[in-house]
Amino acid sequence: MHILIKNKSLIYNNYKVKCALGKRGIGAKKKEGDLITPRGTYKIKGILYRRDKIKNLITKLRKKAINKKMVWCDDPKSKKYNQLVKLPFKFNFEKLYRKDGIYDVIFILNFNTNPVKKNKGSAIFIHIAKRNYSATRGCIAIKRNDIKKLACRVNKNTLVKIL
């Protein structure tokens, strides 16, 4: 089975929901910060979630609770580029423990992971959309209820195809 992302929709079997994409749409991701959702087929490496905000997250995927010290390195100068790291951290990073709730559940896709190429782009997630489905910096975002439903339907063999 696979998740299909196209035309601002996320489709899994008969389940179709609206999604937000990178500000510059779907395309060939060229560099960090280009605001493009990368075209391609990806595996879901696991789920990060806020245990204090999401109760009883049911999934067949490996999941890990987010704490205040967990951040994602988006600094190409670091050896930990495009990886989950802990504070304190001297390079640039993106906070995962956020007040706005968009990272209460995060599906981590294996974009630019094996091998990691410096400046190619980091952290392509499926996460919770803002109320108005405003554009992301390259991730895919869906409603809170939809991400919880999706979490219990997917498994380690589910592929994410971005067209």
Domain limits, the chain:
2-162
Per residue of the chain (163 residues), give pLDDT as tens.
899 999 999 999 989 999 999 999 999 999 999 999 999 999 999 999 999 999 999 999 999 999 999 999 999 999 999 999 999 999 999 999 999 999 999 999 999 999 999 999 999 999 999 999 999 999 999 999 999 999 999 999 999 999 9
Residue 45's Cβ-count burial label (10 Å; 0-12, 13-18, 19+) is middle
Helix (H) or strand (E) holding 151: helix 144-153
Overall CATH class of domain 2-162: mainly beta
Rounded CA separation 20/11 (Å) = 13
| Nearest partner of 23 among 137, 143, 102, 103, judged by Cα | 137
8 A C-beta contact, residue 122 and residue 73: yes
Conformation bin of residue 47: beta by default, left when phi > 0, alpha when psi is -120 to 50: beta
